[in-house]
């Protein structure tokens, strides 16, 4: 399973990229999900700018994917990851940490352009479709 991060979704919604969309279309839609945390961030962004058009676009985007609920397994992963990163002196932002824990708990590959933060999370598999789109 691939789990799309907020920056990947925002990139696609803001600056439609045929290369990124081709990558998305190359995997079964049933194997792509969005964390409820990412859905919350996307909805907040749309509400903040007070644009009905953007709210509708975000909702249409979210309707295309399974939205994964945050659960106890994700909470357990969060606790382990946060303790490990703080012990190394390499904490990352709390929302990024929650999203990383969610992806780990689902054994998903996190699709993100924020590789600097997420690459610090032990065991998290990441894939950067945006960077690959820029290279091709």
Distance CA 31, CA 14 (A): 23
How high is the pLDDT of residue 17? 63
Q: Is pLDDT larger for residue 121 or for residue 23?
A: 121
- Sign of the torsion formed by the C-alpha atoms of 117, 5, 57 and 55: negative
pLDDT at 136 over 50: no
Q: What share of the chain is helix, strand, coil (3-state, %, to 5)?
A: 60, 10, 25
Q: What integer pLDDT is reported at residue 125 of this predicted model?
A: 97
β-sheet with 125-127: strand ranges across: 66-68, 32-35, 2-4, 109-111, 125-127
- CATH number of the domain at 86, please: 3.40.50.1010
| Structural domain for 79, as ranges | 2-135
Query: What pLDDT is stored for residue 127 in this prediction?
Result: 94
Please report the pLDDT score of residue 83 as a whole number: 95
Cβ 34 vs Cβ 62: under 8 Å? yes
- pTM of the entire structure? 0.90
pLDDT at 16: 65
pLDDT in tens, 41-51: 999 999 999 88
Decide: 103 and 35 in contact? Cβ < 8 Å. Answer: yes
The per-residue pLDDT for range 7-36, each reduced to its tens digit, is: 899 888 887 667 788 888 888 989 999 999
**Mean pLDDT for the stretch of residues 53-59:** 93
Confidence of residue 135 (pLDDT cuts 50, 70, 90): very low
User: Which tens digits make up the pLDDT trace of 57-101?
Assistant: 999 999 999 999 999 999 999 999 999 999 999 888 899 999 999
| Domains: count for the chain | 1
């Amino acid at each position: 399973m691939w789990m799309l991060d907020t920056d990947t979704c925002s990139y696609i919604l803001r600056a439609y990229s045929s290369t990124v969309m081709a990558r998305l279309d190359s995997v079964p839609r049933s194997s792509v999900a969005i964390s409820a945390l990412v859905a919350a961030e996307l909805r907040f962004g749309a509400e903040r700018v007070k644009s009905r058009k953007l709210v509708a676009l975000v909702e249409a985007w979210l309707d295309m994917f399974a939205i994964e609920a945050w659960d106890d397994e994700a909470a357990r992963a969060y606790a382990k990851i946060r303790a490990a990163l703080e012990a190394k002196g390499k904490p990352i932002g709390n929302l990024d940490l929650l999203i990383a824990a969610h992806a780990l708990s689902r054994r998903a590959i996190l699709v993100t352009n924020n590789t600097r933060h997420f690459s610090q999370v032990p065991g998290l598999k990441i894939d950067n479709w945006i960077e690959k789109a820029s290279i091709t």
